[in-house]
Amino acid sequence: MTYQHRDLDPTWTAETVAVQAGRPARVPGAGVNPPVHLSATYLHDTDLAYGRDGNAGWAALEDALGALDGGTAVTFSSGLAAATAIADLVPTGGTVVLPTVAYYGVLNVVERMAERGRLTIRRAAPDDTDAVLAAADGADVVWVESIANPLIAVADVPAIAAGARDRGALTVVDATFATPLRQRPLDLGADVVMHSATKLVGGHSDLLLGVAVARDPAIAEVLRTHRHDHGAIPGALEAFLATRGLRTLGVRLDRAEASAGELARRLASHPHVARVNYPGLAGDAQHERAKQVLRGFGTMLSFDVSGTAEQTEDFLARLRLVAHATSLGGVESLIERRARWAGDAGTVGPTLCRMSVGIEDVEDLWRDLDTALVDALS
Ligand SMILES: *Cc1c(COP(=O)(O)O)cnc(C)c1O
């Protein structure tokens, strides 16, 4: 089934594009939504021969995400599948600069490649631009998260991308926490942007899907070939759900971000909280940079409970609204103690809680956090 996408008006804002992109052309009788095409094979004779070659639903989502990020999008079965394909852009024997703290799954993928002798890794703190660029000398790829796990550090994407380009390296930005509505890394000089659409783009914790968006269509073609050859293709239903989730990204982000800012401010003066990391706080070390490189401060915050690891676990167990679970970006608020993960245990303290703020009423969220903190710690 071919899919004729509708044209977009270049004057529309990103919020409008998120609602309108990736829909069928407006011809009489056309659906307003893209199809969910469940077919493993197609009638000969076109380029679309088999289910691994393409799908109308992926094409719709790729139209939308490509338009939002300003490049050519390729969707994958998960964020990690996208990251794996992007990491494979590093030439054999090449060098990649990785952040010291980042989503540990992405670090794992690249570390395993290094263990096999496929490439060499250098490490630099993502918010230390000088260190990142010093490491970029002679490197092939510089990998950053625009807002980084789990300390919510903000990278200076324009400075890193410009410095990497001068040194002949590609810049890859994992913008999962920012989404295309809070940052367009390709406009800031990056070469490839990736998102785990499992998170804010999908928005309902009901699917896994990833996307890579490349400035250069030739790089997108390499990524598409990787997807085809390795088989890390998104499901047709997942692609539809991610497209549907994208429609409400603007309103979900606005609301969750406003709540995150309010909760961060209140937590910062809570007697049982030692420290809050949220770039929207005026006193946050990342505040000025975040104002320059992001259109908003996001829906993720982290904080240290002033107590022991056991008291922190007790606090999490007492929450009745916020769910004790990993992941982020859904309509429902989630929280977890990051040191529970071996990948984070070396880089964060035992009481650090990372919270993904959802779209529940902010006063309900606050009462839940405050009551559980007081009950667990007094
Ligand atoms: C979740 C996540 C990933 C991995 O995405 P999956 O869809 O879970 O495979 C990559 N980067 C960041 C920043 C993430 O939060």
pLDDT at 151 over 90: no
Asked whether 204 and 187 are in contact (CB, 8 A), the reply is no
**With respect to CATH, is domain 250-377 assigned 3.50.50.60?**
no
Rounded CA separation 139/178 (Å): 26
Per the prediction, the chain carries an average pLDDT of 96
Helix (H) or strand (E) holding 344: helix 342-345
174 catalytic residue (yes or no): yes
Q: Give me the pLDDT at residue 105, please.
A: 94
Q: Which two tokens stand for residue 226?
A: 């990787």
pLDDT grade for 371, boundaries at 50, 70 and 90? very high
CATH code for the structural domain at 14-247: 3.40.640.10
Residue 132 per-residue DSSP state:
H
Helix (H) or strand (E) holding 286: none
Distance (Å) from CA 43 to ligand 1 centroid: 35
pLDDT at 161 over 80: yes
- Out of 65, 78, 103, 107, mutate this one to test ligand 1's pocket (max ligand atoms within 8 Å of CB): namely 103
pLDDT at 341 over 90: no
The distance in angstroms from the start CA to the end CA of the chain is 63
Catalytic entry in 69, 127, 140, 174: 174
pLDDT at 59 over 80: yes
> Torsion over CA of 125, 298, 296 and 263, rounded to 10 degrees?
-110
The model's pLDDT over 85-122, given as tens digits with 9 standing for 90+, comes to 999 999 999 999 999 988 999 999 999 999 999 999 99
Distance (Å) from CA 79 to ligand 1 centroid: 5
104 catalytic residue (yes or no): no
52 catalytic residue (yes or no): yes
**Beta carbon of 78 within 6 Å of any ligand 1 atom:** yes
If you take atom 8 of ligand 1, which residue's CA is the nearest one?
Answer: 79
Sheet of 72-76, strands arranged across: 72-76, 210-214, 192-196, 170-174, 141-145, 95-99, 120-124
Mean pLDDT in residue range 315-326: 97
Backbone φ, ψ for residue 366 (5° rounding):
-65, -45
Q: Where are the domains of the chain?
A: 14-247, 250-377
**Beta carbon of 79 within 6 Å of any ligand 1 atom:** yes
**Beta carbon of 329 within 6 Å of any ligand 1 atom:** no
- Out of 78, 176, 336, mutate this one to test ligand 1's pocket (max ligand atoms within 8 Å of CB): namely 176
The model's pLDDT over 2-13, given as tens digits with 9 standing for 90+, comes to 578 888 999 999
Q: Give me the pLDDT at residue 343, please.
A: 78
Q: Give me the pLDDT at residue 2, please.
A: 58
β-partners of residue 96 are 121, 141
Rounded CA separation 167/84 (Å): 23
CA distances in angstroms from 185 to 141, 172, 195, 213, listed in the order given: 15, 9, 11, 10
Mean pLDDT in residue range 200-206: 98
